[in-house]
Structure 1
Amino acid sequence: MVDDLIRYDVLVQDALRGVVRKVMREVADGGLPGEHHFYIAFDTTAPGVRMSSRLRQQHPEEMTVVLQHQFWDLSVTEHTFEVGLSFGGVPERLLVPFASVKGFFDPSVQFGLQFDPANNSPEAQKPTGPTAVPSLAAAAVQPPAQDDDAGDADDDDEAATPPAATEGAEVVSLDAFRKKP
Structure 2
Amino acid sequence: MSRSIDYGNLMHRAMRSLIQEVLSDVQKNGLPGEHHFFITFDTQHPDVEIADWLSDRYPGEMTVVMQHWYDNLEVGDEGFGVTLNFGDSPEPLYIPYDAIKTFVDPSVEFGLRFETQEDDEDDDLDDLLEEKDLEADEEDSPRKEADVVSLDSFRK
Equivalence map 1:83-122=2 (5 Å): 83-116=82-115, 118=116
How far apart are 1:90 and its partner, in Å? 1.5
Query: 2: CA distance between counterparts of 1:180 and 1:85?
Result: 21
Residue 156 of structure 1: aligned partner: 137
- Aligned partner of 2:137: which letter? D
How far apart are 1:27 and its partner, in Å? 0.3
Please give the root-mean-square deviation of Cα atoms over the aligned residues, in Å: 3.3
**Partner SS, residue 40 of structure 1:** strand
Residue 167 of structure 1: aligned partner: none
Residue 50 of structure 1: aligned partner: 49
How far apart are 1:88 and its partner, in Å? 2.0
Q: Structure 1 residues 143 and 51 mapped into 2: Cα distance closer, same or farther (>3 Å)?
A: closer
Between Structure 1 and Structure 2, how many residues are aligned? 137
How far apart are 1:25 and its partner, in Å? 0.5
Residue 12 of structure 1: aligned partner: 11
Q: Structure 1 residues 48 and 155 mapped into 2: Cα distance closer, same or farther (>3 Å)?
A: closer
Residue 26 of structure 2: aligned partner: 27
Query: 2: CA distance between counterparts of 1:155 and 1:95?
Result: 15
Equivalence map 1:57-76=2 (5 Å): 57-76=56-75
Q: What per-residue deviation string (whole Å, max 9, x for no partner) do you get for residues 143-174 of structure 1?
A: 859xxxx699967159xxxxxxxxxxxxxxxx
Q: Pick the structure with more strand per residue.
A: 2
Q: Structure 1 residues 180 and 115 mapped into 2: Cα distance closer, same or farther (>3 Å)?
A: closer
Query: 2: CA distance between counterparts of 1:76 and 1:46?
Result: 18
Is the 2:38–2:104 Cα contact (8 Å) retained in structure 1? yes
Is the 1:38–1:66 Cα contact (8 Å) retained in structure 2? yes
Residue 37 of structure 1: aligned partner: 36
Query: 2: CA distance between counterparts of 1:178 and 1:105?
Result: 15
Query: 1: CA distance between counterparts of 2:53 and 2:88?
Result: 13
Q: Larger radius of gyration, structure 1 or 2? A: 1
TM-score (norm 2): 0.76
- Aligned partner of 1:39: which letter? F
Residue 152 of structure 2: aligned partner: none
Is the 1:84–1:91 Cα contact (8 Å) retained in structure 2? yes
Residue 142 of structure 2: aligned partner: 179
Q: Structure 1 residues 151 and 44 mapped into 2: Cα distance closer, same or farther (>3 Å)?
A: closer
Is the 2:84–2:91 Cα contact (8 Å) retained in structure 1? yes
Structure 2 residue ranges without an equivalent (≥5): 145-156
How far apart are 1:7 and its partner, in Å? 1.3
Identity of aligned residues (%): 39
Residue 168 of structure 1: aligned partner: none
**Partner SS, residue 179 of structure 1:** coil
How far apart are 1:47 and its partner, in Å? 1.9
- Aligned partner of 2:38: which letter? Y
TM-score (norm 1): 0.66
